[in-house]
């Protein structure tokens, strides 16, 4: 179970979650990308699906994989939206997610508060997502510290809109960085898709 996390909202976490989900998924082993941000859910918009059913509809008879739906903007990905879900519903969803047979990716809330801690506590590793700016990287460092404290240490850093000139490894204590270029349609761009595959390859090397 992989958390996509960062300290600042709007840095591209959801897009990275879907792109990495596509890179990790196959037609017979689809990735499951889960929106865990009940305050500002937007995975359904990026994935091109209706917000319901979603986490709020999970019950004993309708567990997460039956509620999830196929993403329309990427291949080999199912998504679990978070529209109208309570904190308790998010907790229940995370606790009942499948942990075998497919990659599970948690699209985390921004920041380092309790809402962001919830999915990090369940994850095995974290992908830190940041813009290549001082403020965004400073916020990401707080997220990195929280991820380590919750036993979901960062596997790599993804800098979105980066030309490769910024090296965040010392600040974030994370040696691997993937630089995703600024493109107008990041889920349709071949340049961005190559970077999602690069991220997946780094994760595979680290047995995530």
Cβ-contact 181, 191 below 8 angstroms: yes
pLDDT of 141 higher than 90: yes
pLDDT at res. 175: 86
What are the pLDDT digits (tens) for 91-109?
A: 989 999 987 889 999 999 9
Count of the separate structural domains present in the chain:
1
Over pLDDT 90: what percentage of the chain? 81
What are the pLDDT digits (tens) for 31-69?
A: 999 999 999 999 999 999 999 999 999 987 788 888 999
- Arithmetic mean of pLDDT, 199-206: 90
Domain that holds residue 65: 2-206
Domain at 81, CATH number? 3.40.50.300
pLDDT at res. 207: 65
- Arithmetic mean of pLDDT, 180-189: 95
């Amino acid at each position: 179970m992989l958390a996509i996390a960062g300290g600042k909202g709007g840095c591209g976490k959801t897009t990275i979650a879907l792109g990495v989900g596509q890179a990790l998924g196959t037609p017979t082993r689809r990735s499951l990308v889960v929106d865990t941000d009940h305050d500002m859910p937007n995975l359904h918009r990026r994935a091109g699906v209706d917000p319901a059913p979603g986490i709020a509809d999970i019950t004993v008879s309708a567990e997460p994989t039956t509620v999830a739906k196929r993403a329309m903007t990427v291949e080999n990905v199912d998504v679990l939206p978070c529209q109208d879900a309570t904190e308790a519903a998010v907790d229940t969803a995370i606790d009942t997610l499948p942990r075998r047979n497919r990659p599970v990716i948690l699209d985390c809330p921004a920041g380092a508060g309790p809402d962001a801690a919830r999915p990090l506590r369940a994850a095995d590793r974290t992908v830190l997502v940041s813009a290549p700016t001082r403020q965004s990287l400073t916020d990401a460092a707080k997220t990195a510290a929280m991820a380590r404290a919750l036993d979901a240490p960062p596997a790599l850093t993804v800098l979105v809109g980066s030309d490769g000139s910024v090296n965040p490894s010392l600040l974030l204590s994370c040696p691997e960085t993937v630089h995703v270029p600024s493109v107008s349609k990041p889920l349709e761009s071949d340049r961005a898709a190559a970077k999602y595959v690069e991220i997946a390859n780094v994760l595979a090397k680290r047995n995530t």
